[in-house]
Copies of this chain bind each other. A is one copy, B any other.
Amino acid sequence: MQGGGCGAFAAVALNLMNRTGTADYAVTGTWSSKAAKEAAKYGKVNLVFPKADKPGSIPDQKTWSMDPNASYVYYCDNETVDGVEFPYIPETNGIPLVSDMSSSIMTKKVDVSKFGIIFGGAQKNIGPAGVVVVIIREDLLGNAMKVCPSVFDFTHIIKENSIHNTPATFSVYVMEKVLQWIKKSGGVDAMQKQSEEKERLLYGTIKQSNSFYHCPIDERVRSRINIPFRVGGKNGNESLEAKFLEEAEKLKMYQLKGHRSVGGIRASLYNAVTLEDVQSLVKFMIEFQKQHSTTHN
């Protein structure tokens, strides 16, 4: 479908909320929070745990307060801004499970049969911005709300073979190239293996830095894909972080700045980032620490 990942936030509710008028949301960061807010336009949203002031963990599923009457249970598999990733697939006792996999799709194997809907904006691991991939269980079709715009109506989109109107054709074209590239590179298995090697290397470097680098995220739910960390101690040293970014750019390592809402550094290890790229990053990090740790740590 079109309309970007944020369009899908509304589309999910517009297609599924009709069953009972309520839905369960697990809010673990920026994107699931936006999705819950959007869904509240179309029905009652139950947060299965209170929204944390400072994301960085995911409460144990045993503690979730789930509504047995929910139309669906929603979670964001990986929060790009906050660096939190689900290490498991939530149990829902038969209620359709919806997952925003915009940033994790094609980085790991997933048992698709466990989901009602999986969706993902293409622009992280599949291709350029402008397309959203939606996988929906067939029995969930045919129940969109009356106010659902046709371009967001999954039943209608499937009927029209995904070309209800002209999609972002160039984005679709490149997406095909990227999917072929994944296949040629060994498929999702190879992407997952590479992802694990990359995160092990980066988190390992952070751990061995003796708190010069610090990742604030609960170890059990750390993202393999978006890794936020501070430089110069637990609370970060902003001038040192500015220097870190400046020197990284000299080495052609861009976009390492953390989202403005959380600050610090963020390394995004999407499929297009190679193990060699991460090796270059950690080499730089070790060097940078050598130069600055005596004065700042």
**Complex-state Cα separation, A7 to B6, whole angstroms:** 14
Is A274 in contact with chain B by the CB < 8 A criterion?
A: no
Is A149 in contact with chain B by the CB < 8 A criterion?
A: yes
Using A129-B166, A129-B168, A130-B170 as known contacts, say yes or no to A149 and B7 having CB atoms under 8 A apart.
Answer: yes
Q: Which residues on B sit within 8 Å (CB–CB) of A9? A: 149-150
Using A38-B150, A170-B170 as known contacts, say yes or no to A165 and B6 having CB atoms under 8 A apart.
Answer: yes
B6 lies within 8 A of A164 (CB): yes
Using A7-B2, A147-B147, A150-B38 as known contacts, say yes or no to A168 and B171 having CB atoms under 8 A apart.
Answer: yes
**Complex-state Cα separation, A9 to B41, whole angstroms:** 20
Residue in B38, B121, B151, B169 whose CB lies within 8 Å of A6: B151
| Least CB distance, A52 to chain B, in whole angstroms | 23
* Oligomeric state, in copies: 2
A171 lies within 8 A of B10 (CB): no
Is A42 in contact with chain B by the CB < 8 A criterion?
A: yes
B169 lies within 8 A of A129 (CB): yes
Residue in B3, B10, B128, B148 whose CB lies within 8 Å of A2: B3
Using A3-B151, A149-B152, A151-B6 as known contacts, say yes or no to A130 and B168 having CB atoms under 8 A apart.
Answer: yes
Q: Which residues on B sit within 8 Å (CB–CB) of A147? A: 41-42, 147
Using A38-B149, A146-B41, A150-B38 as known contacts, say yes or no to A121 and B166 having CB atoms under 8 A apart.
Answer: yes
Q: Which residues on B sit within 8 Å (CB–CB) of A167? A: 4, 129-130
Q: Which residues on B sit within 8 Å (CB–CB) of A128? A: 168-170
**Complex-state Cα separation, A128 to B129, whole angstroms:** 13
Q: Which residues on B sit within 8 Å (CB–CB) of A149? A: 3, 7, 9-11, 14, 38, 41, 149, 152
B123 lies within 8 A of A4 (CB): no
Is A120 in contact with chain B by the CB < 8 A criterion?
A: no
| Least CB distance, A159 to chain B, in whole angstroms | 14
| Least CB distance, A178 to chain B, in whole angstroms | 13
Residue in B5, B148, B171 whose CB lies within 8 Å of A130: B171
Residue pairs across A and B with Cβ atoms less than 8 A apart, 26 shown, are A2-B2, A2-B3, A3-B152, A4-B166, A4-B167, A5-B165, A6-B151, A9-B149, A10-B149, A11-B149, A38-B150, A41-B146, A41-B147, A41-B149, A121-B165, A121-B166, A128-B168, A129-B169, A129-B170, A130-B130, A130-B167, A130-B168, A130-B169, A168-B170, A170-B170, A171-B171
Kindly list 16 other residue pairs between chains A and B, CB separation below 8 angstroms, not including A6-B164, A128-B170.
A3-B149, A3-B152, A4-B166, A6-B150, A6-B151, A10-B150, A41-B146, A41-B149, A128-B169, A129-B166, A129-B168, A130-B130, A149-B149, A149-B152, A168-B168, A171-B171
Q: 4 shortest A-B CB distances, which residue pairs?
A: A130-B168, A10-B149, A6-B165, A4-B165
> Which residues of A does B touch, CB under 8 Å?
2-7, 9-11, 14, 38, 41-42, 121, 123, 128-130, 146-152, 164-171, 174
